[in-house]
């Protein structure tokens, strides 16, 4: 199998660049960034190409700039599957709900085939599409334009919106809709779910704004109580959940312990909620 350095050498030779020209170009990049780490010495370039020396991240950036290469592709030459980073992250099961900072819209893995266009009005078996065309772009999920959304992962210990949002779900967040919608839905499926950030972390839930109080209401089936924050001092609305991809069976059994019942309290008089199975420990007298 051809090594990364050998492939870089082939690209350099195809561009008809000499060692000295690459070295001089690297010095210019280092000067623009005021960082000598971007600079490549002639002997180091020779070692990268001929001895299999692994270039530093700074030098790899420099070589990609000079050779007009995609950094993600070149990392793959060295055995780092950067294109699969988002998918890899989904395999690491974190207990707390959190944002995902991956730019999933920057690169479409495969074009949507015209001969097998998905009709979103009909039930479709996507596994056949995957087997035929390889990896699927995330834009196949609910027909979303993935570049317009931010993404979050529901923690594996976060049952607050179960069964609407299962633990481990990937949610698309529309940060253009941060204002709490207080009416306009007919059932729980239509009611907006918001992705929020407090001082203790992230959480999802139905929301009601009453003056300067933001009431976060979990799903009744979760058997967890509502939580009250002082808004906007104690909580920030990241956006409204616009789509979700989830497994119907998470593979983990829910804890049989239920949160203790209680009454609403002013946020200053009690701690902010955690995202553990006991979250939250304050119950509302009635659903908002």
In degrees, to the nearest 5, what angle opens at C-alpha 154 toward C-alphas 190 and 187?
Answer: 15
Residue pointed to by tokens 């902010």: 272
Cα of 142 vs its chain's centroid, Å: 17
Give mean pLDDT, residues 172-194: 89
pLDDT number for residue 262 = 34
Q: What residue ranges of the chain are covered by domains with CATH 2.10.109.10? A: 148-269
Is the pLDDT assigned to residue 30 strictly greater than 90?
A: yes
Kindly tell me if the per-residue pLDDT of 182 is higher than 90: no
Cβ atoms 173, 240 nearer than 8 A: yes
Longest dimension (CA), the chain: 76
pLDDT at 252: 56
- Write down the pLDDT at residue 101: 74
Could you give the dihedral angle defined by the CA atoms of residues 83, 174, 124 and 156, in that order, rounded to the nearest 10 degrees?
70
Report the CATH superfamily, name and number, of domain 148-269. Umud Fragment, subunit A (2.10.109.10)
pLDDT digits (tens, 9 = 90+) for 200-251: 888 999 999 999 999 999 999 988 999 999 999 999 999 999 888 776 655 5
Q: Compute the residue count for the chain.
A: 288
Q: What is the pLDDT of residue 257?
A: 40
Answer yes or no: is pLDDT of 64 > 80: yes
pTM (two decimals): 0.56
Predicted confidence at residue 194, as pLDDT, reads 95
Is-contact 164 219, C-beta < 8 A? yes
* Per-residue confidence (pLDDT) for residue 82, from 0 to 100: 81
Q: Where does the chain show beta strands of DSSP type E? A: 98-100, 150-153, 170-174, 194-198, 201-210, 213-217, 227-230, 235-245
* 248 touches 179 (CB < 8 A): no
Q: Poorest-confidence range of 92-96, 111-115, 145-149, 221-225?
A: 111-115
Q: Which fold has domain 4-80?
A: 434 Repressor (Amino-terminal Domain) (1.10.260)
pLDDT tens per residue, range 76-85: 999 998 877 7
267 versus 168: the higher-pLDDT residue is 168
If you average pLDDT over every residue of the chain, what do you get? 76
Check whether 268 has a pLDDT greater than 70. Answer: no
């Amino acid at each position: 199998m051809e090594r990364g350095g050998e492939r870089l050498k082939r690209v350099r030779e195809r561009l008809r660049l000499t060692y000295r020209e690459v070295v001089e170009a690297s010095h210019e990049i280092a000067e623009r960034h005021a960082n000598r780490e971007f600079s490549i010495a002639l002997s180091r370039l020779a070692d990268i190409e001929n001895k299999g020396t692994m270039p530093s991240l700074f030098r790899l950036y420099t070589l990609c700039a000079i050779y007009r290469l995609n950094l993600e592709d070149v990392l793959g030459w060295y055995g780092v599957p950067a294109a699969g980073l988002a998918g890899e992250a989904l395999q690491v099961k974190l207990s707390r709900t959190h944002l995902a900072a991956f730019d999933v819209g920057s690169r479409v893995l495969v074009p949507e085939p015209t001969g097998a266009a998905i009709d979103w009005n009909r039930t479709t078996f996507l596994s056949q599409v995957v087997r035929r065309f390889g990896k699927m772009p995330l834009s196949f999920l609910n027909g979303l334009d993935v570049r317009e959304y931010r993404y979050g992962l529901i923690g594996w210990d976060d049952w607050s919106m179960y069964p609407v949002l299962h633990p481990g779900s990937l949610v698309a967040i529309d940060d253009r809709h941060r204002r709490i919608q207080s009416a306009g839905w007919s059932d729980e499926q239509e009611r907006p779910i918001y992705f929020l950030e407090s001082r203790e972390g992230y959480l999802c839930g139905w929301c009601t704004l009453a003056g300067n109080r933001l009431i976060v209401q979990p799903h009744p089936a979760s058997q967890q109580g509502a939580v009250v924050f002082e808004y906007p001092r104690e909580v920030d609305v990241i956006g409204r959940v616009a789509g979700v991809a989830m497994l119907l069976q998470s593979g983990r059994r829910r804890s049989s312990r239920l949160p203790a019942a209680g009454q609403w309290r002013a946020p200053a008089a009690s701690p902010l909620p955690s995202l553990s199975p006991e979250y939250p420990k304050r119950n509302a007298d009635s659903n908002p």
